[in-house]
A and B are shown apart, each in its own frame.
Chain A
Amino acid sequence: MYAVAEKARARGMLGRIQEHSHRFYPYLLMAPALILIGVVSMYPTLYSFYLALTTVRKGEMVFIGLENFATIIASRQFWQSLQLTLIFGVFYITLTMLISFLLALAFNRGLSLGALCMTLIFIPWVLSEITSGVMWRWMFYRDYGVLQNLIGPLFGGVTLIATPAGAMGIVTAASVWRSTAFTMLLLLAGLQTIPKEVYEAAAIDGATKWTAFWKVTWPLLRPTTLVTVVFLSIQVVNAVGMFLAITEGGPGRATEVLPLHMYREAIQYFHFGYGAALSVIMFFINAILAAVYIRALRSESAWA
């Protein structure tokens, strides 16, 4: 085989595959994936768009145009849940990025305990939201929860999970805990694409570690960071499991974020049209984030 390959190179046949490929082969290769996605992802999404324009009156499904959207916009709960999603998103993304970045910098030094620590840090990523949620709930039980007993006294002994800020803080911490490993790996991969020579050149120029970081590491890592942030943002818009497992939206509506609001409307109240309308809004929020992502990928040559 190797000899054949050698021959091919000798003949200057690079790129010959494309010449030989019949026109329909790419589509045949793509077909299984496209059929599967089409039936299981695309069709239901389109159907959701239709469902968003309907409601049920006296037991009959009726077309009502954009009325669901009008109701949503007039609803205090929608804006409240959007606001909560935003608050959650800001803290979640900032903390995840910060912790992941510090860890990635540490791992990038090639530590002797690196492999062991990497495995341990990745374990939360392997857990399901529901398992993680149950665990975090325990740690904040009144009288028994180990973290409640540790942190509670700092806030006058209140039951943290029963306070609006405390509940949001707990879900945020649990979510950060679960996503740090993956984010860290993406950043680490980005760090490792930076050639050593660049640092060596900087060192010759007499740059300190700190200036080397700001002048060399950061600019080269910016595209990775951007993409990671967009990924995390999409997770924010889809985050429901953790909230469901830890707070179920409480206390009051203090952690009733947008996806949870949608879950409640559609799954618990059977307002399928209204729920679909909410999910269409969520879809567009994601689409905007996706557009940012695509733009970022196209404009940064490091990612092409």
Chain B
Amino acid sequence: MLAKRFGSPAVNILLLAVALAFIFPVFYTVMTSLRAPGYGLSSDIIPDSFYWGNYARLWSYGRFPRYILNSIIDALGGALLTCVAAAPAAYALARLRFKGRDPLLWFILGMMMIPGLTNLIPLYKLASDLKLLSTYTIMILVFGAYGVPLGVWIMKGFFESIPRELEEAAAIDGATPLQTFLRIVIPISGPGLTATFLINFVYNWNNFITPLILISKTIMKTATVGLFDFQHALEGNQDELLAAACVVILLPAVALFVTMRRYFLQGMIEGAIKG
């Protein structure tokens, strides 16, 4: 009975081995970041002694702390904007019947099909015309918009999974759909909004091509672009420093995922099943 419930030890161990293999590159990178300066390259996996100084070196190296801050602002702002825009749209698509509902749904989801590279040149022009190049505003707007299709997908799935009774009651009391949405639906949508926010935050945090083009001032670059520059600009054998940069960039996203795992997975499943 127990074996049936929790699987045989063999399957468990096998799965654990696969899981450990999956995080090996991360482990390898962490180990590289702990090598002494100039010893970043080594065929050993674990260094003889741990050198933590690379993180201090990184902190004083150029603009790296600022890049991290820029990434946080852009990713956070973008994810919030996505939530603000996607939630009402998803609600309308999930609950209300109106003309053009299906085409609009496919239009929004269809945005996912546009290759990320396609829009960059026109977006550059747009940002340039609006004098928004190298600003948080443009990054937040673009990240916000890029997140909308996924956000609508997740939120629509979420709204369809919550019972209708409360909304119906509010409707009977004469509330408009907007009032129902703001007063009844939003307060109980914490999990769905959190999932939308978190998944988009991670996507924005990791986006590389968009900030590469839309940001030209060094001081406004994001961490991923900074890392790409770093990879190309570091002279000589300084891989341990690059590894430390990788760890600093991946840590917030990994920490967010590990602590809020439930929301991430729920959000994705919600979208997948009900979408």
Contacts and interface: CB of A to CB of B under 8 A. Distances in A.
Direct contact of A and B (CB under 8 A): yes
Contacts of B149: 37
Give 7 nearest A-B pairs by CB, closest first: A128-B206, A40-B145, A44-B122, A33-B89, A112-B6, A44-B119, A47-B122
27 contacts: A5-B165, A14-B164, A17-B96, A18-B97, A20-B176, A21-B98, A26-B98, A30-B88, A36-B145, A40-B142, A43-B122, A44-B119, A45-B114, A45-B118, A110-B6, A110-B7, A118-B265, A121-B18, A126-B250, A127-B253, A128-B206, A130-B224, A132-B25, A135-B28, A136-B25, A138-B28, A283-B114
Contacts of B121: 44, 48, 51, 266, 272, 275-276
A124 interface: yes
B43 to A, nearest CB: 5
A267 B213 contact: yes
Interface residues of A, number: 107
Contacts of B152: 33
A131 B113 contact: no
Interface string B204-243: 0111110001000000000010011001000000010011
B11 A109 contact: yes
Contacts of A18: 96-97
Given A34-B104, A41-B119, A234 B113 contact: yes
Interface string A109-122: 11111101111111
Interface string A140-183: 01011110010000000000000000000000000001001110
Interface in B188-212: 202, 205-209
Interface of B is mostly: helix
B227 A134 contact: yes
Contacts of A25: 92, 96, 176-178
B169 interface: yes
B172 interface: yes
A25 B227 CA distance: 45
Interface of A is mostly: helix
A207 interface: no
Interface string B105-141: 0111011111111111111011000000000000001
B171 A20 contact: yes
B228 A138 contact: no
A70 interface: no
Interface stretch (B49-57, B58-66, B254-262): B254-262
A250 B148 CA distance: 35
A42 B225 CA distance: 25
A8 to B, nearest CB: 5
A237 B117 CA distance: 10
B143 to A, nearest CB: 9
A17 to B, nearest CB: 5
Nearest to B143: A40
A39 interface: yes
A5 B104 CA distance: 31
Contact of B16 (A30, A33, A116, A262): A116
Contacts of A8: 165, 168-169, 172
Interface in A49-82: 51
Interface stretch (A87-95, A194-202, A213-221, A287-295): A287-295
A203 to B, nearest CB: 13
A109 B14 CA distance: 13
B1 interface: no
A23 B257 contact: no
Contact of A290 (B26, B110, B166): B110
Interface in A203-253: 224, 234, 237-238, 240-241, 244-245
A186 interface: yes
A227 to B, nearest CB: 8
A239 B112 CA distance: 14
Given A129-B206, A279-B117, A283-B118, A41 B168 contact: no
Contacts of A98: none
A212 to B, nearest CB: 15
A294 B269 CA distance: 19
Contacts of B120: 266-267
Contacts of B96: 17-18, 21, 25-26, 29
Contacts of B272: 185-186, 189-190, 224
B73 interface: no
Interface in B134-189: 141-142, 144-146, 148-149, 152, 164-169, 171-174, 176-178, 180-181
